[in-house]
Amino acid sequence: MHRTRIKICGLTREEDVAAAVAAGADAIGFVFYPKSPRYVTPQRAAELIATLPPFVTAVGLFVNVPAEEVAAIVRVAPVALLQFHGDETAEQCAAAAAAANRPFLRVFRVKPTTTGTELLEYEAQSRASSRPHAAQFAGLLFDTYVDAYGGAGKVFDWSLIPEELAHRAVLSGGLSVQNATGAVAQVRPWAVDVSSGVEAAKGIKDAGLIAQFIAAVRAGDATPGNGA
């Protein structure tokens, strides 16, 4: 049975990091987008990263940040994986990842008109652009298209994701305790990413919701069907 990996994003407090780790999260996300209510400075992120045990991955979320600035942030806050969530081209993502010497995820903000062919082409373009920079493209993260950056807590039509792509992608966008089981059972993604779905307030996580969300993902893993 596939075990879906789980990232809890937008953490700002030690107690929330501890709660996510205790509940079994595989990755923790830090938002380096100053306009986000979940923004943390590189110095603050470094303090939180220092509390992580082995084998829990620290991820940095960036929005339209120049390559040199990404590298400078990573020197202060040693995240292991970069997540590009803005309008960066594949070339810009690869250049920033190479400058920071980190692998990267690239977001695709899914619209109602998005096609599976578009998603496959976007993945191929991202992979091809990484090679000249010797950058490691780790995969795509699917979020819902809204006129904003960094995620909006809204669900998109999961059936738009091609089956041959889902198993190596990260599913995001409006995930919650209520829909995580169904999302995992239907899509069978490599990983899921949640932020607002486990919050008491913006940037303040709820330990109970984190534990319930992870339990809901595990229930999806255990649901008979495609990939189980």
Catalytic residues: 9, 143
CA distance 116 to 38: 31
Q: What values do phi and psi take at 218, rounded to 5?
A: -65, -35
Q: Could you tell me the end-to-end alpha-carbon distance of the chain, in angstroms, rounded to an integer?
A: 5
Return the closest-CA partner of residue 93 out of 58, 120, 128.
Answer: 128
Tokens matching residue 37: 């209510």
The residue with tokens 């789980």 is 6
Q: Which helix (H) or strand (E) holds 7?
A: strand 5-8
CA dihedral 219, 163, 148, 133 (to 10 degrees): 110
Tokens matching residue 134: 């010797």
Q: What values do phi and psi take at 172, rounded to 5?
A: -140, 180
Return the closest-CA partner of residue 149 out of 62, 89, 79.
Answer: 62
CA distance 194 to 174: 8
